[in-house]
Amino acid sequence: MKITNVRACQPIAANSPPDWRTSMGQILIAVDTDVGLTGYGVGGGGLAGVHVARTVLRDVLLDRDPEQIDALWRRMYDVTLPFGQKGLAIMAISGADLALWDLRGKAANLPVAALLGGQTGQPIPTYVTVWDDLDAAIEAGFTAFKLHVEHHAEGGVIENVCRAVATARRQIGPDCQLMIDAWMRWDVATTLAIAERVAPDRLEWIEEPLPADDAPGYERLTSQCRIPIAGGEHEFTFSGFRPLIDRRLHQTLQPDVCWCGGLSELIKIYHHAQQAGLRVCPHRGAEVWGLHAIAALDHQPLAESGRPWMTWILDQPQIDGGSVSLSHTPGFGIQIDENSLPTQ
């Protein structure tokens, strides 16, 4: 099998928010082959990511055997290294890597989860990420909830966040899981003060309280914070995650498979974290791209609800009553609305 074309675009769904951050700059990469199979993957980086895929990554992949995923990943990493290593180049590589895994599954007539030794069809528990409508999430049958609290940063942040957590705990009852996400808006003192105050409300984790590159701050939280710290959605590659794991800066790792380097890197992150006794809860894990790894590799699965904007992906697994399951269809088990892809 040989790669005959690499196509990339930034498809915009009808209900996609216009700004880069909220639409996450998602890009779609298609890898065509001489046997008529096409692999699809989603990466990031917006139009800059599309450019990297259409030029540098395309040059690496054309005429190569798509089964050589490790060698192709290494080559994509090496040629982007001067301007890559983290950020949008790795986000673009993530989409290409996922497309290669989709091809591998299609060529073997197996779901990606089965390639990794896992099963499809089993219900995987999920949690829902809530910005404002907790009632709707309760109504939908979820039993695990994460509140985005960074918008409480105006004014008395500690007071506001503690009130929001207490209110949510009352609403969801004593038995449901509750987490909060600060999206890198706090400092160490604020995080410690909030952790102290919300301890009676039993949080599973506080997510990204500090900027992603504040290793000394996370080091202090590791020894002083009474609530486990989660993070990693803004970290890249196994090399980036290894110090987070080895230094135990996060107790729950949250790689995003569409950003961190693709499934090839997510597998390594899973194995290293599990050897260290740490949990992995991939960012947006209930989206199809991360869900196969969760189904195959996770001993304590909890998949984060995805975002609703990839309407150009057909046959996506749907969360129902707080859980989600994968179909037995080969590859990632999805189809793409080809009208959303350019020919080149």
CB of 343 to Mg ion, least distance (A): 36
| Active-site residue identified among 152, 283, 292, 299 | 283
Q: Is 151 a catalytic residue?
A: no
CB of 268 to Mg ion, least distance (A): 21
Counting contacts by CB under 5 A, is residue 235 touching Mg ion?
no
What is the H or E stretch that residue 29 is in? strand 27-33
Counting contacts by CB under 5 A, is residue 150 touching Mg ion?
no
Alpha-carbon distance of 274 to 281, in angstroms, equals: 12
Q: Return the range that interacts with Mg ion (CB under 5 A); candidates 52-60, 175-183, 216-224, 306-314.
A: 175-183
Q: Return the range that interacts with Mg ion (CB under 5 A); candidates 8-16, 48-56, 177-185, 267-275.
A: 177-185
What is the H or E stretch that residue 230 is in? strand 229-231
- Per the CB < 8 A criterion, the answer to whether 168 and 174 are in contact is no
Total of residues contacting Mg ion (CB under 5 A): 1
CB of 233 to Mg ion, least distance (A): 5
Cβ nearer to Mg ion, comparing 97 with 181: 181
CB of 77 to Mg ion, least distance (A): 25
- Per the CB < 8 A criterion, the answer to whether 236 and 247 are in contact is no
Count CA atoms within 13 Å of residue 102 on its CB side.
27
Counting contacts by CB under 5 A, is residue 181 touching Mg ion?
yes
Using CB under 5 A, which residues numbered 310 to 329 contact Mg ion? none
> Under the phi-then-psi rule, with left for phi > 0, alpha for psi from -120 to 50, and beta for the rest, what region is 102?
alpha
- Collapse the DSSP code of 162 into the 3-class scheme (helix H, G, I; strand E, B; otherwise coil) and give the result: helix
Q: Return the range that interacts with Mg ion (CB under 5 A); candidates 15-23, 73-81, 153-161, 174-182.
A: 174-182
Counting contacts by CB under 5 A, is residue 287 touching Mg ion?
no
Alpha-carbon distance of 262 to 272, in angstroms, equals: 16
Q: Return the range that interacts with Mg ion (CB under 5 A); candidates 6-14, 181-189, 236-244, 262-270.
A: 181-189
Cβ nearer to Mg ion, comparing 181 with 265: 181
Binding string, residues 256-285; x marks residues near Mg ion by CB under 5 A? ------------------------------
- Alpha helices by DSSP H, listed for the chain, are 20-23, 46-52, 58-61, 69-80, 88-108, 112-115, 134-139, 157-172, 188-198, 215-224, 237-246, 263-275, 288-297
CB of 181 to Mg ion, least distance (A): 4
Alpha-carbon distance of 248 to 277, in angstroms, equals: 10
Best CA proximity match to 230, nearest among 173, 290, 273: 273
Cβ nearer to Mg ion, comparing 181 with 235: 181
CB of 304 to Mg ion, least distance (A): 8
Under the rule (CB under 5 A), what is the footprint of Mg ion?
A: 181
Return the active site residues.
283
